[in-house]
Amino acid sequence: MAGMQPPSPGRRAAARNLPRGGGPRAAGAAASLPHASAAHPPPPEWAREGIAELTRLDPDFARIEPQAGPLPWRRRDPGFPGLLRTICGQMISNQAAAAIWGRLSALPGILHPEGLLATSDEALRGAGLSRPKVAHVRALAAAVAEGRLDLGALRDAPDAEAVAALSAIPGLGPWTAQVHLLFGFERPDIFPAGDIALAAGLAHLKGLVERPKPRALAAMAEGWAPRRSLAARLLWHHWRHVTGRPAGEAA
C-alpha cells in the first residue's frame, strides 16, 4: 500500500498466529481454484486494467492471483433480489447463506416486493430467516413497493448518497449497502471497512501483528483509491485461499 512500510521480520513472526490455512483442506482449495473460477466470468477489461494499476499502487496485491488463481468476477442482481441475497449473507457463513438463499428464492413471488409482502412469516422462517431478518426483508420490500427506496435512481447516485439511502432501511446498514454497491452496481471505489474477512485478509497479506480495526482499515484503503472495490475483491479472494474455503459468494 502506498505510504505503508513493509512489515519487519518481528511483525511477520507475530503474524503467524493469524489463520493461514495449510494442510489438506488448503491444498485442495488451491487445486480447485481454476475449476471454481470457471463458474464465474473473468474480470471485465476495465477491472483488469484497474488491477494492474492497483498492483502499481501496492505491489503486495500482485502476489494474490499467482497464489490463489485468477480472480473470479462475481456479480449480483442490482435490484431487489440482489439486496435480499445480501441480507441472507449477513453475519453467517457463505455456505449457510447459500442454503438459506436457495430455499428463500424458491418461494413463489418472493423476488418481487409485493410477492414477499404477501408471503407469510411462517414461510419466510421456514426458509431459514431469523425473526429479525424477516422484519428486515419486509422493511426492504415495503420501502421499494411504496416508492420510498428507488433502486433504479440509486444506480446514478453518488456513493455516499446511495449508501445512506440503503442504510436507512431497518436491518440493512452500511455493510449491506456497500456490498450491494460493490457487487450489484459494480461501483469501482467501494470498500466495506467493517468486513472481518477483509481485515483478516489484509493482515495475512501484509504480515501484520493483528487485524486492523475498521477505522484503521478504511484509512489504509484510502491509498488504493479509486480502485478500492478491486482491492476488496482481491483480499476476499486471498483470504479464501489461505483459509482453504471454497470459492463462492463473496459476502
Q: What are phi and psi of 188, to 5 degrees?
A: -85, -15
In CATH, the number for domain 9-73+189-243 is 1.10.1670.40
Q: How confident is the model at residue 39 (pLDDT cuts 50, 70, 90)?
A: low
Q: How confident is the model at residue 92 (pLDDT cuts 50, 70, 90)?
A: confident
Query: CB 82: neighbour CB atoms within 10 A?
Result: 19
- Is the pLDDT reported for residue 105 higher than 50? yes
DSSP state of 205: H
The pLDDT assigned to 77 comes to 94
Q: How confident is the model at residue 5 (pLDDT cuts 50, 70, 90)?
A: very low
- Is the pLDDT reported for residue 220 higher than 70? yes
- Is the pLDDT reported for residue 3 higher than 50? no
- Is the pLDDT reported for residue 16 higher than 70? no
Determine the Cα–Cα distance for residues 26 and 241; give it in Å rounded to an integer: 7
Q: How confident is the model at residue 115 (pLDDT cuts 50, 70, 90)?
A: very high
Residue in the structure block whose three cell numbers are 441480507: 87
Determine the Cα–Cα distance for residues 46 and 172; give it in Å rounded to an integer: 29
The pLDDT assigned to 76 comes to 92
- Is the pLDDT reported for residue 64 higher than 50? yes
The CATH number of domain 80-183 is 1.10.340.30: yes
Determine the Cα–Cα distance for residues 20 and 242; give it in Å rounded to an integer: 5
Query: Distance between terminal CA atoms of the chain?
Result: 24
Determine the Cα–Cα distance for residues 91 and 168; give it in Å rounded to an integer: 19
- pLDDT, the chain, mean: 84
The pLDDT assigned to 40 comes to 74
* Spatial CA neighbour of 198 closest among 223, 233, 243, 245: 233
The pLDDT assigned to 43 comes to 92
Please list, in sequence order, all residues whose beta carbon lies within 8 angstroms of the beta carbon of residue 234, skipping any fewer than 6 positions away.
51, 54, 61, 64, 65, 71
CA atoms within 13 A on the CB side of 213: 1
- Is the pLDDT reported for residue 33 higher than 50? no
Residue 145 grid coordinates:
413497493
Check residues 19 and 40 and name the one with the higher pLDDT. 40
Q: By the 8 A CB rule, do 206 and 7 touch?
A: yes
- Is the pLDDT reported for residue 239 higher than 90? yes
Q: Where are the domains of the chain?
A: 9-73+189-243, 80-183
- Is the pLDDT reported for residue 51 higher than 60? yes
Q: By the 8 A CB rule, do 65 and 235 touch?
A: no
Check residues 132 and 38 and name the one with the higher pLDDT. 132
